[in-house]
Amino acid sequence: MDTLIKTLRANKPETKPSEANARAAELDPAEFLAAAVRADRPRPSRAEAEAAVYTLLNYIGEDPTREGLVDTPRRVVEAYDELYQGYHQCPAEVLDRTFGETAGYDDFVLIRDIEFTSQCEHHMMPFYGKAHIAYTPVERVVGLSKLARLTDIFARRLQTQEHLTAQIAAAIDEVLKPRGVAVMIEAEHTCMSVRGVAKHGAVTFTSRFTGMFRDNPAEQSRFLSMVRSPQR
């Protein structure tokens, strides 16, 4: 079963093409251009974080002192350092280096099937899937691996799929200044598949379009067609 979520611009008043091109990314740039960890925001110590895990083990009815759980608080905190490393990374820096040797290339660049894993901010449970990203460069292009790294930076934070989609598109739009950006994400959410309604295999789709992809239905359709075409 597939669950379709309409694009984030749904139910908004129509805008003229000139207005859409001039409009900002609709997110606070501080949200997607800098590392999320702020020096002026106090953070608990590692010992305090491990103590919190110890408390949760007690809460669910476990004995944190038994052999199998003695080192679990430490392991959980170490896993958090890895799973949430995106808070310490700067999205703008990933897109900072571009290349001008494009031989006048003027079509869009598409990278599809970028696998990612993120954590739902509502239940702190994983959701995972694939991101498909396209942008139409103006004179300069970014290294292909950078778009995958950008996806990972935002995915390695507590997220909703809608917000993840919007952040990726906004960062590319703001830093690279392309003629347009298209982002589609398809993902399965374990907070829906293994708890609550427990609908295993349900897939959620989100998309975000800016510039020529927002204004030109033909380009939007071509992007979607290439994303959905079978693998070769």
Check if the beta carbon of residue 199 is closer than 8 Å to that of residue 224. no
Read off the tokens for 47.
């010992």
Candidate list 161, 163, 174, 220, residue with the active-site label: 161
**123 an active-site residue?**
yes
Listed in sequence order, the residues at least 6 apart from 201 whose beta carbon sits closer than 8 Å to its beta carbon are 1, 188, 193
Which residues of 66-152 form beta strands (DSSP E)? 98-99, 109-120, 126-136, 141-142
- Identify whether the C-beta of residue 114 lies closer than 8 Å to the C-beta of residue 132: yes
Query: Is residue 118 within 8 Å of residue 167, measured between CB atoms?
Result: no
Catalytic residue among 123, 162, 186, 188: 123
Look up 121 and say whether it is catalytic: yes
Task: List the catalytic residue out of 85, 121, 139, 200.
Answer: 121
Q: Could you say which of 120, 132, 167, 174 is catalytic?
A: 120
Residue 122 annotated in active site: yes
- Our answer to whether residue 120 is catalytic in this structure is yes
* Cα separation of the two ends of the chain: 25
Neighbouring residues of 213: CB distance < 8 A, sequence distance ≥ 6: 108, 134, 136, 180, 181, 182, 219, 220, 223
Instruction: State residue 185 phi and psi, 5-degree precision.
Output: -125, 135
Q: What is the DSSP letter of 122?
A: T
Asked whether residue 191 is marked as a ligand-binding residue, the answer is: yes
Residue type at 86? G
Distance set, CA 151 to CA 11, 45, 189 (Å): 27, 28, 17
For residue 85, give the DSSP letter: G
User: Does residue 119 have an active-site annotation?
Assistant: no
120 assigned ligand-binding residue: yes
Q: Annotated binding site for Zn(2+): which residue ranges?
A: 120, 123, 191
Show which residues are catalytic: 120-123, 161, 189, 191
Known binding-site positions: 120, 123, 191
